[in-house]
């Protein structure tokens, strides 16, 4: 995979090409209605390894149950854990969520993240990543998806898998992958464009470029995907052998 990355290191048109092809296949994405940074922070902290609709439902239930994020912060761990039981790892996330909300209040004086809008993007992300359970994926989501609307690329498990298979990046963690991908992002791409790109890659990873059974023959990126071409070439070699075995078994 490293050789694939080096081979394309000087190319700067792959992400726009990928974006165009995915837009042609999936169609335009529904524009996101940005939340305030704190609400996005809570959502993103809960969303790891959990389906999007499940996380949205849990956040809606938290709003209805507690009324304010201050009430959520002040609730007992047992009550928070019970309220988020539908997300993955609720015991761990309840501890992280309560600790983070308390720490934000202690460090700023009140429970809000609106003040982050005064700072540079890199400083915002470093500040967020000091809290338990918050890594590059969550900090990128907060600065890019929320009303902060900064340039960042939220790299989730789907994004890691897709970009590695495409040969865009070598196998690496989310932080390294985002750093390498952002070098390829056109300067003209706005925060909203990066958000849309994330949505397209995520949709591809959920529907075609899946972990266990990728549907490479249906993928709009097949012609630029070394992994997909390798998979189809292997299938073409196997097919005649299977056919021959079936003929022998039939006779």
In this structure, what DSSP letter does residue 119 have?
Answer: S
Beta strands in 72-216 (DSSP E): none
Between the alpha carbon of residue 226 and those of residues 62, 111, 202, the distances in Å are 44, 47, 19
Find the mean pLDDT for residues 173-178. 95
Q: How many CB atoms lie within 10 A of CB 60?
A: 10
Is residue 162 situated within a structural domain? no
What tokens does 54 get? Answer: 């499940």
Average pLDDT over residues 99-113: 97
Q: Which of 116, 145, 174 is where one domain is finished?
A: 145
Dist CA 251 CA 238 (whole Å)? 20
pTM of the predicted model over 0.95? no
Query: For the CA atoms of 165, 221, 159, 172, what is the dihedral angle to 10 degrees?
Result: 30
* pLDDT confidence of residue 1: 40
- Phi-psi label, residue 248: left if phi above 0, alpha if psi -120 to 50, beta otherwise: alpha
Structure tokens at 78: 């047992």
Q: What pLDDT does 244 receive?
A: 43
Specify whether the CB–CB gap between 158 and 204 falls below 8 A: yes
Q: 115 with 124: CB under 8 angstroms?
A: no
Same domain? 224 vs 136 = no
| 174 found inside a domain | no
**Could you tell me if 137 and 41 lie in one domain?**
yes
CATH of the domain at 134: 1.10.340.30
Residue that finishes a domain, picked among 119, 145, 171: 145
The answer to whether the Cα torsion of 40, 44, 47, 52 is positive or negative is: positive
- pLDDT value of residue 233: 94
Asked if residue 243 has pLDDT above 90, the reply is no
Q: How confident is the model at residue 236 (pLDDT cuts 50, 70, 90)?
A: confident
Is pLDDT at 7 greater than 50 in this prediction?
no
Domain count, the chain: 2
pLDDT (0 to 100) of residue 237: 80
139 plus 223 within the same structural domain: no
Question: Which pLDDT score is estimated for 245?
Answer: 43
Between 4 and 138, residue with greater pLDDT: 138
**Of the candidates 156, 137, 139, which has an alpha carbon nearest to the alpha carbon of residue 205?**
156
140 and 50 within one domain: yes
Share of the chain above pLDDT 90, in %: 86
Has residue 176 been placed in a domain? no
In this model, does residue 242 exceed pLDDT 50? no
Per residue in 114-146, pLDDT (tens digit) is: 999 999 999 999 999 999 999 999 999 999 999
What is the per-residue pLDDT for 250? 56
Specify if 105 maps to a domain.
yes
Residues 140 and 44 in one domain: yes
Q: How far is CA 191 from the centre of its chain?
A: 15
DSSP 57-79: HHHHHHHHHHSSHHHHHHS-HHH
* Residue 8 scores a pLDDT above 70: no
Q: Is the pLDDT of residue 201 over 60?
A: yes
Alpha-carbon gap, residue 106 to 112, rounded angstroms? 11
Rounded to an integer, the average pLDDT of 111-115 is 98
Q: Are residues 134 and 232 in the same domain?
A: no
Is residue 187 one of the residues assigned to a domain?
no
Is 23 part of any domain? Answer: no
Neighbours of 69 (CB within 10 A): 20
Question: Which pLDDT score, from 0 to 100, does residue 210 have?
Answer: 97
202: in domain: no
Instruction: Identify whether 196 is part of a domain.
Output: no
Alpha helices by DSSP H, 135-190: 136-145, 157-166, 174-184
Asked if 73 contacts 47 with a C-beta cutoff of 8 angstroms, the reply is no
Q: Name the pLDDT band for 156 (thresholds 50, 70, 90).
A: very high
47 and 128 both lie in a single domain: yes
Which residue range(s) make up the domain with 236?
A: 216-250
State residue 12's pLDDT score.
65
- Which pLDDT score, from 0 to 100, does residue 167 have? 95
Identify the pLDDT of residue 248.
Answer: 52
Could you tell me if 141 and 220 lie in one domain?
no
Among 95, 111, 145, the domain-final residue is 145
């Amino acid at each position: 995979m490293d050789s694939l990355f080096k081979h394309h290191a000087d190319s700067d048109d792959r992400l726009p090409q990928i974006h165009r092809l995915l837009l042609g296949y999936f169609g335009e994405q529904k524009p996101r209605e940005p939340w305030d940074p704190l609400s996005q922070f809570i959502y993103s902290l809960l969303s790891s390894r959990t389906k999007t609709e499940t996380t949205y439902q849990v956040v809606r239930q938290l709003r209805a149950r507690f009324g304010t994020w201050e009430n959520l912060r002040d609730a007992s761990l047992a009550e928070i854990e019970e309220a988020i039981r539908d997300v993955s790892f609720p015991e761990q996330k309840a501890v992280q969520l309560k600790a983070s909300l308390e720490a934000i209040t202690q460090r700023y004086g009140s429970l809000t993240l609106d003040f982050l809008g005064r700072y540079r993007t890199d400083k915002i992300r470093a500040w967020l990543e000091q809290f338990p359970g918050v890594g590059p994926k969550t900090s990128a989501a907060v600065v890019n998806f929320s009303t902060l609307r900064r340039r960042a690329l939220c790299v989730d498990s789907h994004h890691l898998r897709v970009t590695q298979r495409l040969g865009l990046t070598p196998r690496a963690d989310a932080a390294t992958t985002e750093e390498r991908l952002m070098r390829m992002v056109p300067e003209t791409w706005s925060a909203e464009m990066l958000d849309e790109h994330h949505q397209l890659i995520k949709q591809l990873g959920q529907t075609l470029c899946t972990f266990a059974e990728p549907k490479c023959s249906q993928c709009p990126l097949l012609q630029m995907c070394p992994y997909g071409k390798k998979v189809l070439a292997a299938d073409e070699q196997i097919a005649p052998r299977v056919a021959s075995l079936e003929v022998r078994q039939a006779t």
